[in-house]
Amino acid sequence: MYRLGFGTDIHRLAAGRPLMIGGVRIESDLGSDGHSDGDVLMHAATDAVLGALALGDIGAHFPSDDDRWHNAESSQFLRHAVGLAKEKGYSVSNIDSVIDLEKPTLRPYLDAMRANLADALNTETDCVSVKAKTGEAVDAVGERLAVRAQVIVLLVKAQ
């Protein structure tokens, strides 16, 4: 039995904040503002796993007004969601994702992100796809106002 999940996230970019994506610190003059460490890819992946289980969203499990999650490392949210899946007998079959960021180019970081996601998802790196696109200089991504991630995940239940 399979279950499909989808997650998306967006964070404002701001000066003086680190830019964490997929658990990797990106060299950038602008960082991700907001909840926890602001890791859009980890947040979208968490929402995708929770969505596959029809268990609501990351905000319901980790409220942004809860000080425990202030500057928290976001891989723990994903690990928690994967733990909920495991309780229901599901593991990750594969995951595909897209990060939208105008600059810098994320290509040098993608394999490290895949490894971090695979670790948190308790799966193999070749089951984890991470792609990166720019905003073509238009909309919030293109104007360097925001970073966005979209994730789709397939969970499989052991027979």
Which one, 64 or 125, has the nearer CB to Zn ion? 64
Size of the site for Zn ion (CB under 5 A): 2
Which one, 46 or 90, has the nearer CB to Zn ion? 46
53: Cα within 13 Å, side-chain hemisphere? 23
The CB-of-97 to Zn ion minimum distance in angstroms stands at 14
Which one, 90 or 117, has the nearer CB to Zn ion? 117
Pick from 3, 5, 7, 9: which binds Zn ion (CB under 5 A)?
A: 9
Query: What are the DSSP calls for 64-102, one per residue?
Result: TT-GGGTT--THHHHHHHHHHHHHTTEEEEEEEEEEE-S
148 lies in the site for Zn ion, by CB under 5 A: no
Instruction: Indicate the residue type of 52.
Output: A
Give the list of residues 6+ apart from residue 73 with CB closer than 8 angstroms, or none: 23, 36, 37
CA atoms of 106 and 25, how far apart (whole Å): 11
> What does the DSSP 8-state code read for residue 12?
E
Which one, 43 or 114, has the nearer CB to Zn ion? 43
The CB-of-11 to Zn ion minimum distance in angstroms stands at 5
Which one, 59 or 89, has the nearer CB to Zn ion? 59
List the interface residues with Zn ion, window 34-63 (CB under 5 A): 43
> Is residue 41 within 8 Å of 151, Cβ to Cβ?
yes
Instruction: Indicate the residue type of 155.
Output: L
The CB-of-112 to Zn ion minimum distance in angstroms stands at 20
Give me the residues that bind Zn ion (CB under 5 A), please. Answer: 9, 43
